[in-house]
């Protein structure tokens, strides 16, 4: 079988699509690790370097597939980072809220840069 340029391009585009999907997954996981590290810092947890936060995020990600796994994730945070159980829950909540707030801020900045500040105010009727 002779490979033609179209076959090679189809294979490369397929690999490119898989690479984009994996990049989005790992990029999102990296953002989660950074937000979890920030949340652990806010509740004054110990051992809050990047490696420890990465392992905690990996364990809490695995626990998220278990029913009521958020409670187990909070327990993992509380034991690994020497905080109370309530502070573990608070760190999880902060790690969930921070990406949402950052996303909203980025969307507002994009809207303001594309349609101007007066257009932004007009959207909300101000």
Residue 7, helix vs strand vs coil: helix
Query: Rounded to the nearest 5 degrees, what angle is found at the Cα of 100, between the Cα atoms of 123 and 86?
Result: 140
Supply the DSSP symbol for 64. T
Query: Number of folded domains in the chain?
Result: 1
pLDDT, tens digit (0-9, with 9 covering 90-100), for 14-62: 777 787 888 888 988 899 899 999 999 989 888 878 888 899 889 888 8
Q: Is the pTM of this model over 0.85?
A: no
Which domain does 115 fall in, by range? 5-123
């Amino acid at each position: 079988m002779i490979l033609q340029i179209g076959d090679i391009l189809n294979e490369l585009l397929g690999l490119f699509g898989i690479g984009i999907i994996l990049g989005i997954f790992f990029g999102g996981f990296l953002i989660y690790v950074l937000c979890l590290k920030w949340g652990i810092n806010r509740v004054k947890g110990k051992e809050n370097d990047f490696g420890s936060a990465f392992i905690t995020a990996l364990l809490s990600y695995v626990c998220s597939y278990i029913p009521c796994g958020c409670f187990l994730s909070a327990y993992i945070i509380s034991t690994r980072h020497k905080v109370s159980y309530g502070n573990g829950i608070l760190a999880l909540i902060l790690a969930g809220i921070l990406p949402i707030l950052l996303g909203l801020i980025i969307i507002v900045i994009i809207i303001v840069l594309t349609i101007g500040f007066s257009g932004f105010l007009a959207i909300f009727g101000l």
